[in-house]
Chains A and B, each alone.
Chain A
């Protein structure tokens, strides 16, 4: 049923779906945008964590006496105590503060912690060895669809292979942390967070557990995060360091800054679970997929993690026989956190790679094979369209060749593809839009911009609704005192915040129209706000500029409220999308070095609000995808239990010269009626599988696990 809140029809959109520069771009380019790391308050102290140097043990002594005598020392708070167990190297033990960054490093280095060592295990790929070390939890089989035995019998071709991908970390460029200023009863927190509205309660609860502090009210906490330097799913909570930072601020009466060092960021503040496994897939001669069977294992740290959703995308339970068994390997490494589309990138590798291998065995072009089986997916039409579009963008028809048929010379070129899906339902959101008598418009909510374009999309929605331009809108987010909006995770932000903003803006405009109608001697329903004017549909002589119209408010400010969800508020958003990505790579078979020529991405997200920001999310995903396909890996040493590469030197990320050409196509004007759907996760899923498939196509053999490092490429070629 149509409502007044519905998105304008395609012909009536002047801003929605178009390309707009990021409104916060200039502030970021100038350095005027203040991130939490940039906050330097008067009299501020610097805090640093003291972390566990052993991967598993019991704390038997904490000696801070030397640290307390260190120059500039101002205080410390324990996070763990004597008798507590640490389960991974880098675990937070205490936070210490001093007058300068240099002094706090010296003071932290002067703390001595003694441990009683306990057995540790940090390796996940060799599941037999992990089993011998008693680190594998039993699993149960998950069987779906037609009879598996029958399905294997009906298969004309099967592929059995080993596939996997290593533990990686989030590696946020702005590490986790915050500045806390606890003055009187007010606690101001400049937090690097994905959840501005959630942190007050999280911090208050954490502080209230400390008897010496007593009850702290959530409403005494004010979180301020106008800009944020990357979270990817790892920054929803205040964490131990945030609580310790607040305690240090109370203890010293000064603002305190505690941002993690790079090594801490990589060891304890990020972590995407690994996945390894033996996969068997079967199909009929004509390419019809009939069965998928997997035994996989992974680690997400000591507590494990959920199982990957395999088979992925191609998972019709009526037609595809499926059996999945997943084992959890418990390791003494930093605990896993949600990483863009949790479990999906792994599931894509564990599904799309064996499927590509099966296509090669059937002597089928993967484009045909993946399209032929599209009926096994939840959205066959979307995928068929996207596969064709993506194939056109990458030049599949001209460039694809049969596996290994890559000509002479050491450098082989190949193409590969992968499909993905994600929900992206909108989160709850409350918005207040203000229209001032001077014509000013502000959008207010306790949301956050993780660097993804929230300022821009909300400006687009309000400006479109009011017939104004993007610079006419002031977006106030990043403060927990504003109307509550959800945490930014799971691609929920754009759907939730644009809906609440649309509704609030429509409501505010209605109120303005009532006032203007009186002045223009017409009905509110007769008025339209467009092109910076408010005018009568029936009598063109009745027209005011936006400023003139707002002046009619006298000294009154209009506030419009909008909520998501709103049962009577129209259908503004949805969930469930598909996307396709294809990679074109070159592999030097003498050195095993893989380089990216091009990646093409086609993505459906329902109604696009701002094309440029939407595309940027995909570009970022592809760059991140090149990183985990080719370079990224958390490398642990079993003897010491330590991560050996908690730095940006051997924890490798790509530079501009390493990512190749990236081409992105957003599907527009096809699924717009569905409304807005989140874009954060979907494009982050497929790059690894697409790149791995392209490498297999180039060199004729599968490199089983990611990252696709030269040693693994050479080993795969040698074993072929």
Chain B
């Protein structure tokens, strides 16, 4: 890896101030499960790495108001071990899908949201948009794991986050600190589909860091996550779906359906939500929601199967919630 300067400031503002406003020059180190391999492969070549390890305020998973606060340095294992998180079934199911104890122990919840895509063209040095001699590699290339939604180009990768679909369906907020102060936004707004090589898959400024994630109370919601994953061993899901259903009697009054690994962002499906609203939460409404979720899918040359997998993931997530 390229040589870099390492600093570990003690406050979030100091960390943000140590980051460059220009993309690619500096990097934030939390658990390092993604950043270090990117640096070893020279996909990322920051000249300064800012570690968050000395910022005590970023740690911990705790109750906050009626909801949950997850510090930016809380690990996936911290989340799983926390009594405060007990009521968030879909979030815990998603966390358990990260089956490697090593990754759970080192990787942070915020890092899961901000990890770079696993697209093999990107990881092999062809850039986030996977270009070669001015041409996009994915549409006619090896795209079995790529996007089936939001894939009009130039981005074809899928968002790699395991936890974002659950957090978005739970209405989570994220707080970020920049050199001048903090701002908050919905977790969904952390993600974007890049429209050019100068954009990333997240909306953070290069000198902003996530400080915490807050999740409102899930009381009154039925939630579930289903991952279609090939192996028990640590494996990237082929497709995931998280649902949160507020019930009025036996009927769904408010559905939130978010798919993962199908698009360059966690994909909230209003079509699936419409299909569920007013219905009982059961296999047939789950199936209808699954079909609605992929009605607009545009699979690439090799990933037709993901359309079916997305349908099933939604159906089974509804079953998990119900």
Contact = CB atoms under 8 A, between A and B. Distances in A.
Interface of A: 102, 105-106, 109, 590-593, 630-631, 635-640, 642, 644-645, 647, 649-650, 652-658, 709-711, 714-715
B305 A639 contact: no
Contact of A644 (B1, B121, B312): B121
B32 to A, nearest CB: 16
A710 B228 contact: yes
A709 B303 CA distance: 12
A57 to B, nearest CB: 14
Interface string B294-322: 00000000111110110010000000000
B140 interface: yes
6 contacts: A591-B308, A631-B230, A644-B142, A657-B99, A710-B305, A715-B304
Contact of B141 (A102, A639, A709, A714): A639
A121 B46 CA distance: 36
Nearest to A410: B312
Contacts of B230: 593, 630-631, 652, 709-710
Contact of B124 (A109, A638, A642, A714): A642
Given A105-B1, A635-B142, A654-B233, A591 B124 contact: no
A710 B236 CA distance: 14
Nearest to B239: A591
Contact of A658 (B140, B141, B142, B231): B231
Interface in B191-242: 228-236, 238
A102 B1 contact: yes
Interface string B116-128: 0010110110100
B305 A714 contact: yes
Instruction: Label chain A's interface by main secondary structure.
Output: loop
Contact of A710 (B123, B124, B140, B238): B238
A715 B305 CA distance: 7
B305 A650 contact: no
Contacts, number: 85
B58 interface: no
B233 A655 contact: yes
Contacts of B55: none
B232 A711 contact: no
B308 A714 contact: yes
Contacts of B231: 631, 652, 654-655, 657-658
A631 B304 CA distance: 19
B7 to A, nearest CB: 19
B38 interface: no
B140 A639 contact: yes
A640 B137 contact: yes
Contacts of B236: 649
Given A639-B140, A640-B132, A592 B305 contact: yes
Contacts of A635: 120, 142
Given A639-B141, A640-B137, A658 B312 contact: no
A384 B97 CA distance: 44
A714 B308 CA distance: 8
Nearest to B2: A106
Contacts of A630: 230
B124 A655 contact: no
B232 A655 contact: yes
Contacts of A714: 305, 308-309
A644 B120 contact: yes
B144 interface: yes
Contacts of B235: 652
A661 B235 CA distance: 21
Interface in B94-146: 99, 118, 120-121, 123-124, 126, 132, 135, 137, 140-142, 144-145
